[in-house]
Amino acid sequence: MTGKLKNWIGDRGRGNAPAWALLALYLFMLALNLMTPMAGDDYVHYYGMDGEHIRSLSQIAENLKDLWQNTNGRVLAHFFVYLMQIPPRVVFSLLNAVVLPLLLWLLLRFLPEGERKRLLWLGLGGMLLWCWMPGFGEVFLWLTGSCNYGWSLPLLFAALLPFYRAAAGAEPGGKLWQTALWCLCCLACAAYNESNGVCLLAAAFLLGLSVWIREKRLPWRLTAAFACGCLGFLLLLSAPATLATRVGGLSLLSLVQGMKASLGWLETCMLPLYLFYALLMAGAIGRGVDRRLLLASAALLLGGLASVLALSAAAYLVGRSFAACACLTIVACLVLAAGLPAEDRRGRVVPVAALLGVLFAFSFLRGTGDVLSLYLQSRERTAAVCEARESGRREVTLKRFVTTTGYAEISYEELEESPECWYNDLLAKYYGLERVYGLLPETGTGGEG
């Protein structure tokens, strides 16, 4: 049994197995995407300023201008939200299913070269993401949530990877075009959304600081990439809507309450990740793991925490806003785990992976069942609308979507009893009806989970 375990940790996981695992993950995520219906802000972004279904780049440009002035500064993120409303929804599903496999592939790039083909790290990273990514369905399945948050995560990993490698001891070399591409990636990442921008700048600053302390110099490539990140974040914050909604309403009381709410989210959603990290850090220090690795790992963790504290000043706080923090925390855990001596992995990492596997099994079954339940509810809703239209009725009563585990809590389901509600009105417009009434769970399908 011990020999088999060693093989699984070592050479058994090498070769093409990670590639096949990522392909299987893509197909699984594609199935979940195909079962995820439109909801919430999808209906808002389905229509342009002219009230018509978005079908052209000119309509997108008009909407982005209004968003910049009146909503928020996430022009890049919402460009993809609007763009994905033009083709059939299956196009979004095919593209969106790539995000999680790509994220895990990039996660493996943070590990030493000899560790990147071990299935242990791929499996552990995937289970950690599934179990402790706040708002998993909102980040990786729901169209508006994915384009706003999920699509930003590979950008964050790609932007931070060279900073991390420099802090861990690698020379940040490369050709000039590669540096230019990296700078562009940092610019786009910081301009994508607020949590991504703070994560990138905080972690990159700490990683660069560790390089400067060690070498008494900072390579020009790191300086250029960090400057591009600062520029991107400045562009995000310079939107009139951003300044109006965030700076205008700030007060000391709101900051304290926001910080309290942010820390509450961390405790509720991600506490096991921090406990796992503490266990790994204690083991790494005790075993004399390379100090550069310890500092680089801590920089990633603190970068994520900085983004959460920055959210104390946000206009609103939702679970999916913590996606970047969760990802950096998971990377910080895995780089420490991969840096431990082999005997310590067997004593610390493998037992944790086994326990996590049990938690993941329950979470996996409940989560996939949740998405399937939502899909069946959407089929019922579509059937009710079709029946009403075929019978000539212009009014229909629809049920709210109800989920239990949170994996399919795509946006917010704002369907109300009154047809004057904005969400009811949008559903009526989308389905070609005059009025849509809401049948709330208390009077229809039972209380919400």
pLDDT in tens, 268-298: 889 999 999 999 999 899 888 889 999 999 9
Q: Are residues 11 and 55 in the same domain?
A: yes
Are 312 and 396 in the same domain? no
Q: Is the pLDDT of residue 440 over 80?
A: no
> Both 82 and 217 in a single domain?
yes
Please report whether residue 64 resides in a domain.
yes
In this structure, of 63-67, 425-429, 443-447, the range with the lowest mean pLDDT score is 443-447
Among 139-148, 194-203, 355-364, 400-409, where is mean pLDDT lowest? Answer: 400-409
Residue 345 lies in a domain: yes
Which of 345, 367, 389 represents a domain boundary (last residue)?
367
Q: Does one domain contain both 361 and 382?
A: no
For the cut 70, the answer to whether the pLDDT of residue 367 exceeds it is: yes
Do both 284 and 395 map to the same domain? no
Q: Is the pLDDT of residue 121 over 80?
A: yes
The pLDDT tens digits of the residues spanning 206-261 come to 999 999 999 888 899 999 999 999 999 999 988 887 766 555 466 778 788 888 88
The domain boundary residue, chosen from 348, 367, 386: 367
- From 82-86, 209-213, 306-310, 404-408, the region with the lowest mean pLDDT: 404-408
How much is the mean pLDDT over the chain? 87
Q: Which domain holds residue 291?
A: 2-367
446 inside domain: no
Q: Do 217 and 73 share a structural domain?
A: yes
Q: How many domains does the chain have?
A: 2
> Tokens representing 180?
């230019």
Determine, yes or no, domain membership for 386: yes
| pLDDT number for residue 61 | 92
Do the domain assignments include residue 242?
yes
Same-domain status, 363 and 380:
no
**Residue at a domain's end among 367, 383, 413:** 367
283 and 407 belong to one structural domain: no
Q: Do 202 and 246 belong to one domain?
A: yes
Q: Is residue 447 part of a domain?
A: no
Residue 445 included in any domain: no
Share of the chain above pLDDT 70, in %: 91
